């Protein structure tokens, strides 16, 4: 548990660096790719427990159950807009930044 705590501290300290360079959307895509892995492992354990009564070929259902939340998250993160600050600083697009800020 201590290494997980250190990981969150380091992530909180340096998490702004990729966001400033890449933007919110790309950072969420790659960082929450890691989230997909961890969440997929959790879903795998739960689905394996629930599907343990199925006879042969249960492993196919178990693998398929892991892919569903990862796919859904990937689709959802593609709809995240860039932050107004990033649009203004990196793209120098004041009009788009103001439109995002007004929402």
Query: pLDDT (tens digit, 9 = 90+) per residue, 4-48?
Result: 678 778 877 888 888 888 888 888 777 776 776 777 778 778 877
Domain count, the chain: 1
Query: pLDDT (tens digit, 9 = 90+) per residue, 63-88?
Result: 777 777 778 878 888 888 888 888 88
Q: What is the per-residue pLDDT for 45?
A: 80
Domain range holding 80?
2-102
With b for 16 or more beta-carbon neighbours within 10 A and e for fewer, the 20-54 pattern comes to eebbbbbbbbeebeeebeeebeebbeebbeeeeee
Q: What is the per-residue pLDDT for 64?
A: 77
Q: Tell me the C-alpha to C-alpha distance, in Å, between residue 1 and each of 7, 40, 41.
A: 10, 20, 17
Q: What is the per-residue pLDDT for 59?
A: 77
């Amino acid at each position: 548990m201590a290494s997980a705590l250190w990981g969150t501290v380091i992530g909180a300290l340096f998490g702004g660096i990729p966001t400033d360079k890449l933007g919110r959307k790309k950072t969420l895509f790659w960082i929450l790719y890691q989230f997909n892995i961890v969440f997929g492992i959790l879903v795998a354990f739960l689905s394996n427990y629930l599907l343990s009564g199925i006879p042969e070929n249960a492993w196919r259902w178990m693998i398929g159950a892991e892919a569903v939340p990862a796919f859904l998250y990937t689709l959802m993160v593609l709809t995240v807009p860039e932050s107004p600050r990033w649009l203004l600083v990196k793209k120098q697009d004041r009009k788009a930044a103001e439109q995002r800020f007004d929402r």
